[in-house]
């Protein structure tokens, strides 16, 4: 079977309106999909097939014990990227092998093993847009709250790429406490799932997240922007209106003291400015006092003055 890279464009959220174009896919999305040569991949496939044959139900207790030993040995095999055979089967979309391995590992820690990028099989199932595999993994006991080396849960990835099918599976079939944890969790960029869906203009995902209990006024951890700020940044009028309809606070302040209305200054969409101006408290419509003017004056003064340094030494001089 030839190796191939699975894209994340199928079954995506096309209910979006953003002037920034498609979301960035600069981050690595495969975890080893190009790391195996054809002969190596064939060896992996043969190993999984051998396991499948040897683990068929048997009346012979000795054969059954051997099969159990083979299972344990199989579960410990990893490649140089930390991928187990299940990781590799998901990457290459080998459906029969995936089904067999999940069935043999139901409710065990094997389903939660993380590779060198800290991706679980569930992360890879979302990345490769295999909603059926996501459902099997969630139903058979994997933990959807584990994060990869970017701090993303599988739900974060689905929201970043507008993956409707995987989003639906994760939100419908996981335990309620897991869903709340995933929606509230911020990745290492300080963004939760609602921020990611808002940033990339996926309207249906934003609406679903809020309906499922996501905090519509949650702030990014880096600068304190809420989803409404992000919608203004993207000049996405439809998203601004949706968030306001869902209860977003037009007076929410960033860590720098800026409302969403403040972000309309210098922007081209007058409809967004009018929409927010009417809802923003009069005391919060003016830009907050800034030290920028004072700092610029000070920089000008410094540039006019000749500053001499006589206390530096370079190579003894």
DSSP state letters, 100-147? HHHHHTTTSGGGG---TT---HHHHHHHTT-HHHHHHHHHTT--TT--
Going by C-beta distance under 8 Å and a sequence separation of 6 or more, which residues neighbour residue 307?
none
Which pLDDT does position 19 carry in this prediction?
42
Which pLDDT does position 63 carry in this prediction?
44
Which pLDDT does position 7 carry in this prediction?
37
Hey, what's the torsion of the CAs at 286, 289, 292, 295, to 10 degrees? Answer: 160
- Residue in 157, 163, 202, 225 with CA at minimum distance from that of residue 9: 163
Which pLDDT does position 93 carry in this prediction?
95
Per-residue confidence in pLDDT tens, the chain, 317 aa = 333 333 333 445 545 554 444 344 344 444 444 445 566 666 666 666 665 544 444 444 554 454 455 556 778 889 999 999 999 999 999 999 999 999 999 999 999 999 999 999 999 999 999 999 999 999 999 999 999 999 999 999 999 999 999 999 999 999 999 999 999 999 999 999 999 999 999 999 999 999 999 999 999 999 999 999 999 999 999 999 999 999 999 999 999 999 999 999 989 899 999 999 999 999 998 987 654 444 444 444 444 444 454 555 555 65
* Separation CA 76–CA 85 (nearest Å): 9
Which pLDDT does position 307 carry in this prediction?
46
Phi, psi of 134 (to 5 degrees): -55, -45
- Residue in 148, 33, 157 with CA at minimum distance from that of residue 88: 33
- Residue in 81, 106, 2 with CA at minimum distance from that of residue 45: 2
Which pLDDT does position 73 carry in this prediction?
77
* Separation CA 167–CA 189 (nearest Å): 21
Which pLDDT does position 249 carry in this prediction?
98
| 33 contacts 91 by C-beta, under 8 angstroms | yes
Count how many Cα atoms sit within 13 Å of the Cα of residue 226 in the half-sphere of its side chain: 23
- Residue in 261, 266, 265 with CA at minimum distance from that of residue 283: 261
| 164 contacts 134 by C-beta, under 8 angstroms | no
| 111 contacts 24 by C-beta, under 8 angstroms | no
* Separation CA 90–CA 51 (nearest Å): 17
| 189 contacts 155 by C-beta, under 8 angstroms | no
| 111 contacts 121 by C-beta, under 8 angstroms | yes
Which pLDDT does position 206 carry in this prediction?
98
Q: Could you tell me how many residues make up the chain? A: 317
pTM of the model: 0.75
């Amino acid at each position: 079977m030839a190796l191939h890279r699975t894209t994340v464009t199928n079954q995506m959220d096309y209910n979006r309106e953003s002037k920034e174009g498609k979301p960035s896919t600069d981050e690595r999305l495969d975890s080893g999909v190009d790391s195996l040569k054809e002969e190596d991949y064939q060896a992996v496939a043969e190993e999984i097939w051998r396991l499948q044959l040897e683990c068929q139900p048997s009346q012979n207790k000795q054969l059954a014990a051997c099969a159990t030993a083979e299972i344990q040995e199989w579960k410990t095999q990893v490649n140089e990227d930390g991928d187990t055979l299940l990781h590799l089967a998901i990457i290459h979309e080998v459906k029969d092998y995936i089904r067999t391995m999940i069935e043999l590992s139901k409710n065990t820690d094997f389903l939660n093993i993380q590779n060198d990028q800290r991706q679980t099989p569930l992360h890879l199932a979302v990345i490769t847009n295999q909603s059926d595999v996501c459902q099997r993994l969630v139903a058979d006991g994997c933990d959807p709250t584990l994060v990869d080396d970017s701090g993303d849960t599988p739900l974060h990835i689905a929201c970043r790429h507008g993956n409707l099918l995987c989003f639906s599976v994760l939100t419908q079939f996981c335990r309620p406490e897991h869903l709340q944890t995933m929606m509230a969790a911020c990745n290492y960029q300080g963004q939760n799932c609602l921020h990611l869906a808002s940033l990339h203009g996926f309207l249906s995902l934003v609406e679903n997240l809020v309906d499922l209990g996501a905090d519509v006024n949650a702030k990014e951890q880096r600068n304190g922007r809420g989803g409404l700020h992000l919608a203004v940044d993207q000049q996405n009028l439809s998203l601004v209106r949706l968030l306001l309809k869902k209860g977003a606070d037009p007076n929410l302040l960033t860590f720098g003291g800026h409302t969403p209305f403040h972000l309309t200054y210098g922007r081209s969409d007058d409809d967004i400015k009018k929409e927010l101006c009417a809802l923003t408290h009069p005391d919060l419509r003016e830009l907050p006092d800034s030290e920028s003017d004072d700092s610029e004056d000070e920089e000008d003064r410094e540039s006019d003055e000749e500053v001499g340094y006589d206390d530096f030494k370079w190579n003894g001089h």
